Amino acid sequence: MIATVIFDFDGTIINTNDLIKEGLNLIANKHRGCPLTPMELEILTGKTLEAQMAYIDAIHFDGLIEEFKRWYGHNHDTMARPFPGMVHLIRVLNELGYKIGIVTNNSRIALDMGLKLLGIDQWIDCSITRDDVKETKPSPEGILKALSTLGVDIDEVLFIGDTAHDILAAKAANVNNALVGWSHLSPEMREQLGPDHIFESAENVLDIIIETNCEVA
pLDDT score recorded for residue 211: 84
Q: In percent, how much of the chain has pLDDT > 70?
A: 100
**Mean of pLDDT values over 188-205:** 94
Q: Is there a contact between 47 and 40 (Cβ–Cβ < 8 Å)?
A: no
> What is the per-residue pLDDT for 46?
78
Task: Collect all residues with Cβ–Cβ distance below 8 Å to 61 and sequence separation of at least 6.
Answer: 50, 53, 54
The per-residue pLDDT for range 28-71, each reduced to its tens digit, is: 999 999 999 998 998 898 788 999 999 999 999 999 999 999 99
- Please count the other Cβ atoms lying within 10 Å of the Cβ belonging to residue 67: 17
What is the signed CA dihedral for 148, 149, 153, 157, rounded to 10 degrees?
A: -120
Q: Distance between CA atoms of 212 and 99, rounded to whole angstroms?
A: 16
User: 23 in helix, strand or coil?
Assistant: helix
**pLDDT for res 11:** 95
pLDDT (tens digit, 9 = 90+) per residue, 115-167?
A: 999 999 999 999 999 999 999 999 999 999 999 999 999 999 999 999 999 99
The domain ranges of the chain are: 4-15+81-216, 17-79
pLDDT on residue 217: 65
Q: What is the pTM of this model?
A: 0.92
What superfamily does domain 4-15+81-216 belong to in CATH? HAD superfamily/HAD-like (3.40.50.1000)
Answer yes or no: 155 catalytic: no
Q: For residue 216, is pLDDT > 90?
A: no
**Average pLDDT score, the chain:** 95
Give the per-residue pLDDT at 45: 83
Quote the pLDDT of residue 80: 97
Largest CA distance in the chain: 58
Q: Residue 97: pLDDT above 80?
A: yes
Q: Where are the beta strands (DSSP E) in the chain?
A: 4-7, 14-15, 81-82, 99-103, 126-128, 157-161, 176-180, 197-199
Q: Which residues, at least 6 apart from 5, have a Cβ–Cβ distance to it below 8 Å?
A: 93, 98, 99, 100, 101, 157, 158, 159, 160, 205, 209
> Is the pLDDT confidence value at 169 over 70?
yes
Q: Which of 8, 10, 162, 166 is catalytic?
A: 8
